[in-house]
Amino acid sequence: MNLATPQSQTGFAAWWKQHRFKIIPWLFLAPGLFMFTLYVIWPIFQSIWISFYDWDGLGDPRFIGLANYRELWQDDGFYTSLKNNVIWLVLYMLAVPAGLFIALFLNQTVFGIRLYKSLFFFPFVISQVVVGLVFAWFYDPSNGILALIFHAFGGTPPAILSDENYVTYGIIAAGLWPQIAYCMILYLTGLNNVAPEQIEAARLDGAKGLRMLWHVILPQLRPATFIAIVVTVIGALRSFDLISIMTQGGPYGSSRVLAYYMYETALSEYGYRMGYGATIAVILFLIMMVYISFFLWRMYQQEK
Amino acid sequence: MFTSLRKLSLAALMAGLFSASAWAGDLVVNYDGSDPAPKKAFEAVIAKFQEANPDIKVKWNTFDHEGYKTSIRNFLTADPPDVAAWYAANRMAPFVKAGLFEDVSDVWEKEGLNDSMASAAGAMTIDGKKWGVPYTYYQWGVYYRKDIFEKLGIAVPKTWDELLAASAKLKENDITPFAVGTKQTWTTGGWFDYLNLRTNGYEVHRDLTSGKIKYTDPRIQKTFDNWDALLKPGYFLKDHASFTWQDALAPMVQGKAAMYLMGNFAVAPLREAGLTDAQLGFFQFPEITAGVEKAEDAPIDTFHIPAKAKNKDDARKFLAFLASPDTQTMVNKELGQLPINKNAQVGDDVFLKAGFEMLSNTKQLAQFYDRDADAEMAKAGMDGFQEFMIKPERRKEILERLDKVQEKVNAKASN
């Protein structure tokens, strides 16, 4: 008889057979978890740790308790950045309805519609750096297109990127261009999945226009809306590259957001205040945490 | 934890930056000039040094000028070369204080540099010791359109009143008196330095940048009064915060602006853009307060030996070689800048000669606002100057804010 019973398998093999369905997923997850811990979780705690120190990145760090936080509390630059972050978050949200509008407009079958769709999607494909450069030229008060338009009507062009009142809005407008394209593509995909029977049924019930959109189409687009809002919030919070390219936080720091301010204090030419930079990072993290928690909670609810 | 963090990140960085680690007997030099002219100048220096010292094998790395400012912090701690380029005055203070630069007072002593480079000695000294050897510097001053001045019958201004009168005349003729681009705020530091040096003199500049005078001090207020005299009538290029210093060269070339307060490095791009020496001139920033000794901004570039260098003997030889009159003559001819060693020859260029003549009659050299002041102070200061140039009416708040930053920086320095 060569029929082996499970009991006859020894030690490890038996244990493995019994537990493999629990262990194998963790084995597959291990590389990702390792990277995530090393590059995301660990630095979070390190930042919190460093924020209690005064450190220039060269000498020995000096423990100063909450002094960095106290300084931040009185720092005008911090409040300017915080205010700009809020403006970014609010205005960036325009990308969602604007993307929806363009998606509805493009969701038709006429000749060459694919070409139009790709043209509308094009700005999202270009790098943020290029978008920043293009808009900086566009705003150039001596010979940018905007200046030419103003001159054509006999006006004086505003120097958008060097006026503290316009600069943040100018950069957000540049950021919205690719972001709208992104939301548009999300909604276009969503519109493909809208059930035709429901539209048919709604039509029989006499719904059309805005009522149709609001009560029939939009509820079906909820997954797309959710993702669009998520990516837009993330885009607003990490709005670093455009600011760095277009103004470097200027004029006199009035277009900084928290992420840029953190970079400037910790890593730029005149910075190297690692502790203070880390303090800003911690505050930014706490703000993001509110949003991340909401996101996780939402996911959890849906999974249930 | 800090050390492990540093080692980890630096090791990762360094692995990418340097593939070759040096043997003893090799001399590793890190240099921040990747543009064609500095690179060529430096290649010539290395070749000549190699010729004189065939037993030393020189390995050198050129870095991008801006990137170098970050790299040096990493390589000085992780994988130090034997010689590294940097800047004088307060700009080298963080490295000196962190014990990363070697005291080279002995080289100064042995080569007689205390005499031949006396003008730069102050900028190289911290705590009574010399921390590096300077190899080049350049003048600052007003570059102007000779042809426009001639056409409008304006003479080169020697005093503040003459400068204001010249500006008024240019403005009347729809020419912007001063081109300036403050998108990168350091350009405002040049303006502040000159107005302050001419209004109050070098001692006030030194005491302000070392934190002994407040920004709300009546003497500094006077500097800002003078700045106002140029700002209120609109003598600066409009929307200057939208332009880099290179962008602001364009109106000068097009004849829409007539003067530009800048370092001598502005001459090369102006010539490339088509201005001839008949069109472009240079004059020393005019006197403001009569009787104040004229001091100049003349930023010095330097070479240092990292404290952890492996081959310090040969590095000292290299510094001595760099300091010699012959080397300084050669390298500065290539760079289009001025040698520090008083026995060296100046290149055959009108602007260099003008600069050399001006600086040899100058007793006090400032390094530039952002090299003399603490980095954090410099950043806040230049942001404040930019804000002042756009919103002069906010002077009070700006200066009070700068006082606050200065207090903070002073407190940091004292512990």
Q: What is the pLDDT of residues B165-178, one digit of tens each?
A: 999 999 999 999 99
Chain A, 17 to 46: residues with Cβ < 8 Å from chain B are: 46
Q: Residue B242: list chain A partners with CB under 8 A.
A: 139-142, 159, 161-162
Category of A240 on φ-ψ map: left (φ > 0), alpha (ψ -120 to 50) or beta: alpha
Indicate yes or no: CB of B387 within 8 angstroms of CB of A252: yes
User: What are the CA-CA distances from residue B283 to residues A293, B60, B213 (Å)?
Assistant: 63, 38, 30
Our CA-based measurement puts residue B369 at a distance from the nearest CA of chain A, in whole angstroms, of 12
Positive/negative CA dihedral, B378, B384, B387, B389: negative
Indicate yes or no: CB of B70 within 8 angstroms of CB of A142: no
Q: Residues B288, B402: one domain?
A: yes
- Find the CB nearest B376 among A141, A253, A273: A273
Torsion of CA B250, B251, B254, B258, to 10 degrees: -130
Q: What sections of A5-127 are H helices per DSSP?
A: 11-36, 42-50, 67-73, 76-92, 95-106, 113-125
Instruction: Place A302 in a pLDDT band, splitting at 50, 70 and 90.
Output: confident
Note the pLDDT of residue A304. Answer: 78
Indicate yes or no: CB of A57 within 8 angstroms of CB of B378: no
- Find the CB nearest A270 among B77, B182, B375: B375
When the pLDDT of each residue in chain B is averaged and rounded to a whole number, the result is 88
Peptide bond into A251 cis (omega under 30): yes
Indicate yes or no: CB of B238 within 8 angstroms of CB of A141: yes
CB-CB contact of A232 with A98 (8 Å): no
Note the pLDDT of residue B14. Answer: 45
Q: Residues B223, B266: one domain?
A: yes
Note the pLDDT of residue A28. Answer: 93
B119 pLDDT above the threshold of 90: no
Residue B63 tokens read as: 């870095």
Domain count within chain B: 2
B93 contacts chain A (CB < 8 A): no
Q: Residues B10, B158: one domain?
A: no
Instruction: Place A9 in a pLDDT band, splitting at 50, 70 and 90.
Output: low
| Inter-chain CB pairs, A–B, below 8 Å | 83
- Find the CB nearest A59 among B97, B182, B376: B97
Q: Is B60 helix (H, G, I), strand (E, B) or coil?
A: strand
Category of B138 on φ-ψ map: left (φ > 0), alpha (ψ -120 to 50) or beta: beta
B383 contacts chain A (CB < 8 A): yes
Instruction: Place B41 in a pLDDT band, splitting at 50, 70 and 90.
Output: confident
Instruction: Place B2 in a pLDDT band, splitting at 50, 70 and 90.
Output: very low
CB-CB contact of B202 with B390 (8 Å): no
B78 pLDDT above the threshold of 90: no
* Residue A11, strand partner residues: none
Indicate yes or no: CB of B240 within 8 angstroms of CB of A162: yes
Instruction: Place B193 in a pLDDT band, splitting at 50, 70 and 90.
Output: very high
Strand B26-31 relative to strand B57-62, pairing: parallel
Q: Residues B131, B144: one domain?
A: no
Note the pLDDT of residue B415. Answer: 63
pLDDT, mean of residues B406-410: 90
Lowest pLDDT segment from A84-88, A205-209, B18-22, B184-188? B18-22
B4 pLDDT above the threshold of 90: no
Q: Residues B408, B393: one domain?
A: yes
Burial of residue A229 (number of CB atoms within 10 Å: 0-12, 13-18, 19+): middle
Q: Residues B129, B195: one domain?
A: no
Q: Which of A242-256, B139-153, B323-337 has the highest mean pLDDT?
A: B139-153
Q: What are the b/e assignments for A251-273, b being 16+ CB within 10 Å?
A: bbbbbbbbbbbbbbbbebebbbb
Q: CA B231 to CA B389: how far, in whole Å?
A: 7
Residue A119 tokens read as: 């043209």
Q: CA A132 to CA A110: how far, in whole Å?
A: 33
B407 contacts chain A (CB < 8 A): no
The residue type of B240 is H
Q: CA A45 to CA A160: how far, in whole Å?
A: 39
Task: Tell me the residue range of the domain where B102 lies.
Answer: 2-136+300-366
- Find the CB nearest A141 among B76, B242, B376: B242
> Looking at residue B272, which CATH number applies to its domain?
3.40.190.10
For residue A40, the 8-state DSSP code is I
B103 pLDDT above the threshold of 60: yes
> Which residues have C-beta within 8 Å of that of residue A295, sequence separation ≥ 6?
A230
Q: Is A155 helix (H, G, I), strand (E, B) or coil?
A: coil
- Find the CB nearest A252 among B6, B242, B386: B386
Torsion of CA B208, B209, B212, B217, to 10 degrees: 20
When the pLDDT of each residue in chain A is averaged and rounded to a whole number, the result is 88
Q: Residues B229, B244: one domain?
A: yes
B244 contacts chain A (CB < 8 A): no
Q: Residues B66, B206: one domain?
A: no
Note the pLDDT of residue B282. Answer: 95
Residue of B nearest to A267 (CA): B70
Query: Could you read off the pLDDT of A256-265 as tens digits, one per residue?
Result: 999 999 999 9
> At B301, which helix (H) or strand (E)?
strand B300-304
Query: Could you read off the pLDDT of B325-384 as tens digits, one per residue?
Result: 999 999 998 888 899 888 888 888 899 999 988 988 888 889 999 888 988 899 999 999
B378 contacts chain A (CB < 8 A): yes
- Find the CB nearest A57 among B73, B240, B408: B73
B155 pLDDT above the threshold of 50: yes
Q: What is the largest CA-CA distance in chain A?
A: 102
Q: What sections of A107-195 are H helices per DSSP?
A: 113-125, 128-139, 145-152, 167-192
Note the pLDDT of residue B85. Answer: 93
Q: Which of A58-72, B106-120, B146-160, B340-354 has the highest mean pLDDT?
A: B146-160
Indicate yes or no: CB of A58 within 8 angstroms of CB of B240: no
Between CA A86 and CA A98, with CA A92 as vertex, the angle to 5 degrees is 150
Our CA-based measurement puts residue B130 at a distance from the nearest CA of chain A, in whole angstroms, of 20
Between CA B153 and CA B160, with CA B158 as vertex, the angle to 5 degrees is 100
Instruction: Place A194 in a pLDDT band, splitting at 50, 70 and 90.
Output: confident
Chain A, 106 to 145: residues with Cβ < 8 Å from chain B are: 139-142
Q: Residue B240: list chain A partners with CB under 8 A.
A: 162
Indicate yes or no: CB of B70 within 8 angstroms of CB of A162: no
* Residue B59, strand partner residues: B28
Note the pLDDT of residue B390. Answer: 93
- Find the CB nearest B386 among A58, A251, A269: A251
Of B181, B387, B232, nearest to A167 (Cα)?
B387
Note the pLDDT of residue A7. Answer: 54
Note the pLDDT of residue B295. Answer: 92
Of A271, A272, A273, nearest to A54 (Cα)?
A273
Of A87, A236, A66, B403, nearest to A79 (Cα)?
A87
Picking from B176, B185, B236, B242 by the largest number of A CB atoms within 10 A of its own CB, the best residue to mutate is: B242
A248 contacts chain B (CB < 8 A): yes
CB-CB contact of A264 with A256 (8 Å): yes
Q: Residue B97: list chain A partners with CB under 8 A.
A: 59
Q: Residues B145, B272: one domain?
A: yes
CA end-to-end span of chain A: 50
Note the pLDDT of residue B15. Answer: 43
Domains delineated in chain A? 76-271+278-303 (1.10.3720.10)
Q: Residue A71: list chain B partners with CB under 8 A.
A: 408
B18 pLDDT above the threshold of 60: no
Indicate yes or no: CB of B375 within 8 angstroms of CB of A271: yes
B317 pLDDT above the threshold of 70: yes
> At A2, which helix (H) or strand (E)?
none
Of A61, A84, A72, nearest to A282 (Cα)?
A72
A252 contacts chain B (CB < 8 A): yes
Picking from A58, A252, A254 by the largest number of B CB atoms within 10 A of its own CB, the best residue to mutate is: A252
Q: Residues B122, B12: one domain?
A: yes
The residue type of A11 is G
Note the pLDDT of residue B231. Answer: 95
pLDDT, mean of residues A208-227: 87
- Find the CB nearest B239 among A61, A159, A272: A159
Q: Residues B77, B191: one domain?
A: no
ipTM above 0.85, yes or no: no
Torsion of CA B322, B325, B331, B335, to 10 degrees: 120
CB-CB contact of B261 with B141 (8 Å): yes
Side-by-side strand order, sheet with B83-87: B57-62, B26-31, B83-87, B300-304, B133-137
Q: Residue A252: list chain B partners with CB under 8 A.
A: 185, 383-384, 386-387, 390
Instruction: Place B235 in a pLDDT band, splitting at 50, 70 and 90.
Output: very high
Residue B310 tokens read as: 């492996």
CB-CB contact of A286 with A201 (8 Å): no
Domain boundary among B348, B366, B384: B366
Q: Residues B47, B179: one domain?
A: no
Note the pLDDT of residue A110. Answer: 85
Instruction: Place B12 in a pLDDT band, splitting at 50, 70 and 90.
Output: very low
Picking from B9, B70, B239 by the largest number of A CB atoms within 10 A of its own CB, the best residue to mutate is: B239
A253 contacts chain B (CB < 8 A): yes
> At B84, which helix (H) or strand (E)?
strand B83-87
Q: Residue A76: list chain B partners with CB under 8 A.
A: 401
Residue of A nearest to B373 (CA): A270
Residue A162 tokens read as: 């060097």
